[in-house]
Structure 1
């Protein structure tokens, strides 16, 4: 089974894992830029029914970073813990994603990337192979290498999604 993403072209190269700590900050900065330079009403608007707004995607990514950080820490403390689903769809309403202040979310997302990156940066080489049971898309035992690369995919993919929800020509690059 391959985890590569046909939609955005992301390839799950697990050898990339040790560099993820440095890469997540760049994607968080791109999200922050989008949030700090967009109009609040535009950022919070869903262009297509059932598809999150750019602000909602940014909130989701912030929360993904925080949840993934805790999952990595749990895998360091226990043998093959089971990662509890984060309730991604429920959080949109429960936390009022579309009502949050874009500047606050930009700061929080940047902080979350820093926290997640720090945990990965401090991960000893021998612990990259530690595992946890990851529930998405179906329960499977995954290494911390995979968790790191999957988190990078989340940032890259959802930055693309967020940009699609903004007016104007499509943005080139990730």
Structure 2
């Protein structure tokens, strides 16, 4: 285990994770395709105490292995996922078939220096962003579930599948940090 993230380069994740909409994730076991839109907000809210506890742990800055993010880095990433998906969901609810701006999660981790951030600050920001995105999911109505939106790589989502994809990201990263 290491606290020195500067010497442990992370291999960028170039996988297209949209397959999790059709099958269970073999790493975390989550079956995103079974999730209903109404379940997204409670899932987010239920994750917040788990993140808070994990980010408050003494080893929050420690990478479990070379090239693997620390809980702090995963927490900062999850905070940003909450923010990005809040923007994406809002655009799907307010616009017809929006094209999402590209987001390079690995570049964001380097540019924002996730490893050097304060775990307590990240915890507060993650909680605020989580409450915001949960609130956004709370107001989605059944007639909005099939509204479309597209990623820059051409992947097409509906509000329903965006929620499922987003939920998998959340569950998977809790699994990554053992929370």
Q: TM-score range by the shorter chain?
A: 0.7 to 0.9
Match in the other structure for 2:102: 85
Which residue number in structure 2 is paired with residue 31 of structure 1? 51
| Structure 1 residues 15-26: aligned runs within 5 Å | 15-26=35-46
Q: Matches of 1:3 and 1:96 in 2, distance apart? A: 33
Structure 1 CA distance, aligned partners of 2:75 and 2:55? Answer: 8
> What TM-score, normalized to structure 2?
0.82
**Secondary structure of the structure 2 residue equivalent to 1:129:** coil
**Distance (Å, rounded) in 2 between the aligned partners of 1:3 and 1:107:** 33
* Deviation for aligned residue 1:139: 2.6
Count of residue correspondences: 159
- Corresponding residue SS for 1:33: helix
CA distance in 1, matches of 2:28, 2:119: 25
* 2:150 alignment partner, SS class: strand
Root-mean-square deviation (Å): 1.6
Normalising by structure 1, report the TM-score.
0.84
Cross-structure match for 2:3: none
Deviation of residue 78 (structure 1)? 1.5
Q: Structure 2: where are the runs of 5+ without partners? A: 1-18
Question: Is 2:162 the partner of 1:142?
Answer: no
The separation in 2 between residues aligned to 1:83 and 1:5, in whole angstroms, is 24
Structure 1 consecutive aligned stretches of length 4 or more whose deviation exceeds 4 Å: none
User: Is 1:152 the counterpart of 2:167 in the alignment?
Assistant: yes
Contact between 1:21 and 1:118, CA under 8 Å: does it hold in 2? Answer: yes
Assess, with a 3 A threshold, how the Cα gap between structure 1 residues 161 and 17 changes in structure 2: closer, same or farther.
same
